[in-house]
Structure 1
């Protein structure tokens, strides 16, 4: 006889019995224990063996719900699927889904990604995730995150005026989702559904402060007469002669230089923005500056060790502060030497591709990197010596007439 809601409510276990079963229909029954708990079960046979599927507790699962669950399980059985095994598979999937939160996958991606990055950059990326992204998305299953949810995180960062950080957060999240895709943890990358430019404010292109080419003679003379520390003066001279990035200059080690035979500075890939090696041919003037620096600070492995801690390079603000002291605050930066060099070298007729190579502007893939960093090296040597000679003429106040370089 089929059960009723009243019968379920009044069902009790008989005395001296651990449990008692009250049958409904089609193998469904309510199991009542001596302690008073009531559990819905469904009895069936699979591959010739009798099995029981636990459906849930009464009254949390009503009689009507239990019957629907029985019917669903019966459909699985007709399709050749064991309902008990299907339930176990769902539980496993749910547990995996909970474990594969955005934060857990992001940290796995980070451990994989950080190997080829500088410790400073890798630490910065992790701190930004911890500060801006994990509090919003960290506990969500990564497969459930949608583009609007990701956009909300970026908009929240943008709202405090950090437009660049918002776009970088979006890009980092996109890499994390790609990592999840590669490992079968999700089926779609929500970061590709919307472009940051579709919803975030456009970023104003930052231009480093730099002088006009006509102002270089006065700057060079002021550097020569700089009253600060000799090492700071020499760092500015070397910056002008080599026009490398400030970080590449202050982080230089003596073992990167060959002043005798090759007369070049080989900056390793890990210190370059493009993550490929870079060669800086050294003019006679640059070698003289380096020799003078060695006499002053040659005991350290670093070219420009810090004043207090000789195991760390000098501050990246050292050159900026010196320029400000000379009256160029807000008008010139260390990076500005690169822009001025590019302008003047083009005016002097040097080839654009050679200038760009020496500025390390060109993108390089893994296959061609070993070749590209030495491309046009003889021409670049001539250009760097011509540049140093040109700076000497500017400093001396000689009239310079641009000409087409050979």
Structure 2
């Protein structure tokens, strides 16, 4: 029976030799002086031997434990050599099936027909919140606790950024993105269950704050501070154009010079056009509904557009991004409102305010609803409605623009 003192005194000879411990464990001394632990056993009536490690990296106590582990497998009818090979292969496979690699495969193969914006949104979410926790983890080993940790970290990150909300929506989105990848891993036999299911109700989506008409004091502050805003002229003009026109923020952001007819004094948002299938199966819409939308231009809006033409007339978008090509970002307009101390006011509130004022002034419901581009319940009728009541709506929008300017101090 071996002990540490005897092991240290074992010297190499010209030939390899072995010294027995017990229960099949022995130490093998090579002519080079290297010493290896070996476990000799029988499996299916065949004499076999496996290496348990090199001494002194693997000490006597550790070698005996490894021998006992191998004997436990033999007791279950498992060949410990084959078991070791299978585990090494599993580890190798796991390194090829990390959550990050499977996620990238999912984005590349399963959502190839989604918009680039959607795919980039998923990549950004993974890079920002997910990969740091489970990116290098075998996808089959991702747990519900991992997902919960990611969601909690997301809440802390968002809440730590001023004016970016409380994070529930982002945390829930991250859970959904992870779930999509996990279900893909299940379908491709690389995972057994979806760990996001157990935490689906941990964080609740906050209630949607519906648009509201602005109070009189807010209206005076808004109109006065728009004129005194010291930031980008394009952003200032975009907010004021949104106020004058009753358009959605997405319509303001996507408005192109080709939509504007300065002679007729109208803005015509065209019917959505499909992209090629090679790019996307989705549609790029210029209005929320898939139909033409004509907006009469008031005197104030006309002057504003003439001014804006000098700034962005060489570009496609009327209110283009400030520091890069393309449209303004989705948050830019609301950030201006925050800058002028109206952070609890959203761009959607402009439309609610206009609608409330115009209904109170007795304008026809059809005129207001057409101007807001709300869907007509009769879709056949709606296809002929794009120019309906145009002159009446022109007068209504001019009156509305005058009301807006009446709020200035």
- Give the TM-score of the pair, scaled to structure 2: 0.62
Among 185, 188, 191, the alignment partner of 2:190 is 185
Query: Which residue is 2:398 aligned to?
Result: 392
Task: Find the aligned partners of 2:63 and 2:259 in 1 and give their Cα distance.
Answer: 77
State the shift of 1:193 in Å. Answer: 0.3
Query: Which residue is 1:338 aligned to?
Result: 351
Is the contact made by 2:255 and 2:286 (CA closer than 8 Å) also made in structure 1?
A: no
Task: Find the aligned partners of 1:188 and 1:304 in 2 and give their Cα distance.
Answer: 47
Following superposition of structure 1 onto structure 2, how do residues 237-386 of structure 1 map, counting pairs within 5 Å? 237=241, 240-241=244-245, 243-245=247-249, 247-254=250-257, 263-266=268-271, 278-285=290-297, 289=302, 296=310, 297-305=312-320, 311-313=325-327, 317=332, 329=342, 333-340=346-353, 348-350=364-366, 358=373, 376-379=382-385, 381-382=387-388
Among 206, 209, 217, the alignment partner of 1:203 is 206
Residue by residue over 1:174-200, the C-alpha shift from the partner in whole angstroms, topping out at 9 and shown as x without a partner, is: 32243133133322222220235x357
Residue by residue over 1:6-47, the C-alpha shift from the partner in whole angstroms, topping out at 9 and shown as x without a partner, is: 599559577211x2245689977653323241222346577x
Identify if the C-alpha distance between structure 1 residues 244 and 385 changes in structure 2 by more than 3 Å, giving closer, same or farther. farther
Query: Which residue is 1:155 aligned to?
Result: 152
Is the contact made by 1:28 and 1:43 (CA closer than 8 Å) also made in structure 2?
A: no
Following superposition of structure 1 onto structure 2, how do residues 85-124 of structure 1 map, counting pairs within 5 Å? 85-109=82-106, 116-117=114-115, 119=117
Task: Find the aligned partners of 1:293 and 1:68 in 2 and give their Cα distance.
Answer: 82
Residue by residue over 1:100-120, the C-alpha shift from the partner in whole angstroms, topping out at 9 and shown as x without a partner, is: 44444445555565873455x
Query: Which residue is 1:54 aligned to?
Result: 51
Task: Find the aligned partners of 1:256 and 1:114 in 2 and give their Cα distance.
Answer: 31
Q: Which runs of 5+ in 1 are unaligned?
A: 361-371, 398-406
Identify if the C-alpha distance between structure 1 residues 20 and 311 changes in structure 2 by more than 3 Å, giving closer, same or farther. same
Query: Which residue is 1:401 aligned to?
Result: none
Query: Which residue is 1:38 aligned to?
Result: 36
- Superposed CA RMSD: 5.6
**When the two structures are aligned, how many residues end up with a matched partner?**
364
Q: Which runs of 5+ in 2 are unaligned?
A: 274-281, 404-409
Query: Which residue is 1:174 aligned to?
Result: 176
Is the contact made by 2:320 and 2:328 (CA closer than 8 Å) also made in structure 1?
A: yes
Is the contact made by 2:257 and 2:318 (CA closer than 8 Å) also made in structure 1?
A: yes
Task: Find the aligned partners of 2:285 and 2:70 in 1 and give their Cα distance.
Answer: 62
Residue by residue over 1:36-69, the C-alpha shift from the partner in whole angstroms, topping out at 9 and shown as x without a partner, is: 41222346577x9976443445625444641541
Identify if the C-alpha distance between structure 1 residues 173 and 37 changes in structure 2 by more than 3 Å, giving closer, same or farther. farther
Query: Which residue is 1:66 aligned to?
Result: 67
State the shift of 1:70 in Å. Answer: 3.6
Task: Find the aligned partners of 1:165 and 1:100 in 2 and give their Cα distance.
Answer: 30
Identify if the C-alpha distance between structure 1 residues 25 and 357 changes in structure 2 by more than 3 Å, giving closer, same or farther. farther
Identify if the C-alpha distance between structure 1 residues 238 and 59 changes in structure 2 by more than 3 Å, giving closer, same or farther. same
Is the contact made by 2:235 and 2:332 (CA closer than 8 Å) also made in structure 1?
A: no
Task: Find the aligned partners of 1:71 and 1:310 in 2 and give their Cα distance.
Answer: 66
SS in 2 for 1:193: helix
Identify if the C-alpha distance between structure 1 residues 205 and 227 changes in structure 2 by more than 3 Å, giving closer, same or farther. closer
Task: Find the aligned partners of 1:394 and 1:333 in 2 and give their Cα distance.
Answer: 19
Task: Find the aligned partners of 2:19 and 2:260 in 1 and give their Cα distance.
Answer: 88
Identify if the C-alpha distance between structure 1 residues 12 and 295 changes in structure 2 by more than 3 Å, giving closer, same or farther. closer
